[in-house]
Amino acid sequence: MNQYCVDLDIGQEYILKDKFYFDKLKVDGVPAAHFYLPLEEITEEFKTWVDEHDLRIRYSEIFYSSPNGGIFMHSDEVDPPNCCKINWIYDQGDTWINWYMPHPGVELTKQNNTIGGLYWDCPPDQCERVHRAKVGKPSLLNVSVLHDIENPTEHPRWCISIVLQEKTADKRLEWHKAIELFGPYFKNV
């Protein structure tokens, strides 16, 4: 299997208590937006599923991309170097995530995001695309590897992102550990 994403079937296509939560977020006229999602908005069913896998939710976010928009290339986190997320994408099925590898010797640069966090990037001409996928509800994603979002549709794209960590660890859950834990839920592998 690839090292970038895998769809999961955990039997939970909706994890927000309020199915109209996106309507509360102000995105009029902006091409993209990023919000923290309060943990109290997440269903107890999903929190129980997380707990049963000896994990906890470190934080959660929502990303918006306008019709015919996208999100620029970035790495979410470089420490640990292969950390992952579980994402739910609401997009009518036609948006894409691309992953990129920097050329040998290229160092990523630390940047500030719009909600008080960090991301890392490099000039687009210093990396190559290595994978491209449509992702689902939910999917496990490797977000340390550089990635961007394409929304070539006439519809908005909403993404709920859950950042996990092991209960016994103080860093984000890494891809190889997630693959072990979530193997029983893989779809289409």
> Which residues would be at the binding site for Fe ion (CB under 5 A)?
76, 143
Q: Which residue, 43 or 109, has its beta carbon nearer to Fe ion?
A: 109
Catalogue the E-assigned strands of the chain: 5-8, 32-36, 55-65, 69-74, 84-90, 96-102, 109-112, 118-121, 127-133, 139-142, 146-151, 157-166, 186-187
Rounded Cα distance, 64 and 33, in Å: 5
To Fe ion, the closest distance from the beta carbon of 20 in angstroms equals: 25
Helix (H, G, I), strand (E, B) or coil at 98: strand
Whichever of 8 and 84 has its CB closer to Fe ion, that residue is: 84
Least Å from the CB of residue 168 to Fe ion: 25
Of 17 and 132, the one with the shorter C-beta distance to Fe ion is 132
Give the CB-nearest residue to Fe ion: 76
Q: In the bound complex, what is the minimum distance in angstroms from residue 63's beta carbon to Fe ion?
A: 8
Complex with Fe ion: residue 89 or 143, whichever CB lies closer: 143
Q: Among residues 110 and 167, whose Cβ is nearest to Fe ion? A: 110
Find the shortest distance in angstroms from Cβ 84 to Fe ion.
Answer: 11
Spell out the residues 6+ positions from residue 131 whose beta carbon is closer than 8 angstroms to its own: 2, 4, 5, 98, 99
Minimum distance between the CB of residue 85 and Fe ion, rounded to whole angstroms? 8
Q: What gap in Å lies between CA 32 and CA 90, rounded to an integer?
A: 15
Interatomic CA distance for residues 69 and 64, integer angstroms: 9
Query: Omega into 138 within 30° of 0, i.e. cis?
Result: yes
